[in-house]
């Protein structure tokens, strides 16, 4: 007789990501064109650069042994410093001012197993059941699952072309205060560079306003901003925006999360965070319990790629590749939906996603005729409703996330063509009915 397992409350609240099934479907059937997964382009993966970096590290006896030994929980010092030096450019353009700033930033840095682990650790450090986390809506839904696993509620704030609406955020915070719920708000989560899923960035003035609101409403304790900069390096047009972290007062309120998965290699599983000084030790203690430090060899490889200039070289290459792929997708959308004014999408300046909307209300959910017709036509897309707060019954259900990460330009064009075919089929059926 099998005795029942008794899972923890947290385990019972932990579910699978809604797109896991989509990703595995795409893996099983290679004839399908996946515009669903936010994976990176296979062809761009820097096998030669990594081979060179790892050979250099392991050829040096003392460096090689250090890379294969235990590291520290916070992560490799030289890597943290290199990251801090890059980030210091947000604060100042003066080299003399940058050096001490970088040292201070490095001391508050932690290397994690991808930025996902940083998001997890920050949530674990702050959230108790019943708490509230505010996110953009739509947002990075995998993180919503993390928040909910800790028993917190996700509240979404709508976006426009400047990113999260700070007017709506201010209204939400005021409403929570009136309802006596302000003390429950622990975090405001923003993917403020080329957001997943919309491709939108938070504008400079909104960044200032977001920080101001976090400060203003930190009456019952600090409301932190979790600034997820995962796509920051994947910029194809326009100039870089300084982080919220670098705004006056930002260091106390902002957790800045970065990763090498998107701009380099997911297989190295190396991310990082810059934390408010008083959050650093609590997170280190949690990380100590998780794994006492991420893969040391990966950290030495990444540090070498940064120091040798190979990372920046790779980034240039990557930007060219993805820019071309984005353009291919946008061109294909223009061609395919030329006669469909109800189909609208944005022109992302970076990242991996195009956000598409059917203003005629065409449903896009996993059981919708459109989604099924697209699947039938051989293209996988992510229903937009997956990206909204799933406890919100009124969430939009007529949007799609399209990723140009994985497929090459010809397949991107073909994928969009198939989507167009599915849309034509569905709307025709509707007209017939």
- Asked if 305 and 50 touch (Cβ cutoff 8 Å), the reply is yes
Q: What is the CA radius of gyration of the chain?
A: 22
Least distance in Å: CB of 58 to its own copies? 4
Phi, then psi, of 143 in degrees rounded to 5:
-70, -30
Length of the chain (residues): 433
* CB nearer to its own copies: pick between 302 and 370: 302
Q: What is the C-alpha to C-alpha distance for residues 182 and 176, in angstroms, rounded to an integer? A: 5
Q: What is the C-alpha to C-alpha distance for residues 79 and 272, in angstroms, rounded to an integer? A: 10
Q: ω before 61 within 30° of 0 (cis)?
A: no
* CB nearer to its own copies: pick between 261 and 364: 261
Q: What is the C-alpha to C-alpha distance for residues 325 and 274, in angstroms, rounded to an integer? A: 32
* CB nearer to its own copies: pick between 9 and 171: 9
Return the half-sphere exposure (C-beta side, CA atoms, 13 A cut-off) of residue 25.
18
* CB nearer to its own copies: pick between 66 and 342: 66
Least distance in Å: CB of 368 to its own copies? 26
- Asked if 362 and 345 touch (Cβ cutoff 8 Å), the reply is no
* CB nearer to its own copies: pick between 10 and 167: 10
Residue carrying structure tokens 């007209």 = 431
Q: What is the C-alpha to C-alpha distance for residues 75 and 57, in angstroms, rounded to an integer? A: 17
- Asked if 342 and 118 touch (Cβ cutoff 8 Å), the reply is no
Least distance in Å: CB of 11 to its own copies? 4
Least distance in Å: CB of 182 to its own copies? 12
* CB nearer to its own copies: pick between 39 and 208: 39
Burial of 28 (0-12, 13-18, 19+ CB in 10 A): exposed
Least distance in Å: CB of 312 to its own copies? 18
Q: What is the C-alpha to C-alpha distance for residues 223 and 221, in angstroms, rounded to an integer? A: 7
* CB nearer to its own copies: pick between 69 and 393: 69
Least distance in Å: CB of 259 to its own copies? 11
Q: Which residue stretches of 89-238 are H helix? A: 95-107, 114-126, 141-149, 166-178, 204-216
How far, CA to CA in Å, does 37 sit from each of 17, 34, 264, 380, 401?
Answer: 12, 7, 17, 9, 10
Least distance in Å: CB of 110 to its own copies? 14
Inter-helix orientation angle 77-88/296-308, to 10°: 40
* CB nearer to its own copies: pick between 83 and 279: 279
* CB nearer to its own copies: pick between 212 and 290: 290
Question: 73: closest CA among 302, 252, 281?
Answer: 281
Least distance in Å: CB of 262 to its own copies? 11
Least distance in Å: CB of 117 to its own copies? 5
Question: 372: closest CA among 380, 19, 37?
Answer: 380
* CB nearer to its own copies: pick between 264 and 329: 264
Q: ω before 197 within 30° of 0 (cis)?
A: yes
Least distance in Å: CB of 94 to its own copies? 27
């Amino acid at each position: 007789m099998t005795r029942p397992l008794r899972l923890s409350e947290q385990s019972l609240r932990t579910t699978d990501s809604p797109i896991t099934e989509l990703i595995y479907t795409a893996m099983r059937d290679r004839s399908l064109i996946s515009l669903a997964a936010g994976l990176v382009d296979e062809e761009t993966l820097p096998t030669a650069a990594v081979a060179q970096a790892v050979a250099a590290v392991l050829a040096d006896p003392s460096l090689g042994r250090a890379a294969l030994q235990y590291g520290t929980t916070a992560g490799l010092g030289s890597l943290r410093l290199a990251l801090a030096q890059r980030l210091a450019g947000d604060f100042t353009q003066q080299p003399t001012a940058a050096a001490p700033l970088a040292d201070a930033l490095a001391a508050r840095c932690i290397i994690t197993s991808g930025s996902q682990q940083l998001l997890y650790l920050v949530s674990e450090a702050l959230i108790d059941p019943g708490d509230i986390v505010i996110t953009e809506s739509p947002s990075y839904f995998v993180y919503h699952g993390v928040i909910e696993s800790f028993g917190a509620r996700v509240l979404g704030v709508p976006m426009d072309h400047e990113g999260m609406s700070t007017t709506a955020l201010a209204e939400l915070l005021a409403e929570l205060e009136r309802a006596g719920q302000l003390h429950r708000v622990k975090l405001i989560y923003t993917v403020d560079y080329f957001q997943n899923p919309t491709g939108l960035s938070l504008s400079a003035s909104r960044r200032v306003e977001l920080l101001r609101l976090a400060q203003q409403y930190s009456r019952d304790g600090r409301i932190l901003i979790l600034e997820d900069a995962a796509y920051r390096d994947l910029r194809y047009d326009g100039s870089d925006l300084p982080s919220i972290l670098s705004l006056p007062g930002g260091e106390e309120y902002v957790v800045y999360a970065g990763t090498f998965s998107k701009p380099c290699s997911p297989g190295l599983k190396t991310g990082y965070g810059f934390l408010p000084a008083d959050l650093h030790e609590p997170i280190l203690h949690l990380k100590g319990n998780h794994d006492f430090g991420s893969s040391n060899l990966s950290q030495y490889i990444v540090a070498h790629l940064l120091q040798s200039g190979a990372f920046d070289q790779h980034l240039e290459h990557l930007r060219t590749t993805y820019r071309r792929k984005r353009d291919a997708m946008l061109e294909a959308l223009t061609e395919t939906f030329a006669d469909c004014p109800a189909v609208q999408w944005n022109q992302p300046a970076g990242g991996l996603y195009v956000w598409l909307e059917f203003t005629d209300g065409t449903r896009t959910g996993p059981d919708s005729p459109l989604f099924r017709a697209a699947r039938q036509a051989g293209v996988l897309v992510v229903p937009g409703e997956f990206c909204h707060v799933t406890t919100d019954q009124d969430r939009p259900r007529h949007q799609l996330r399209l990723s140009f990460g994985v497929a090459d330009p010809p397949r991107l064009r073909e994928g969009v063509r198939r989507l167009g075919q599915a849309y034509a089929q569905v709307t025709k059926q509707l007209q017939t009915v």
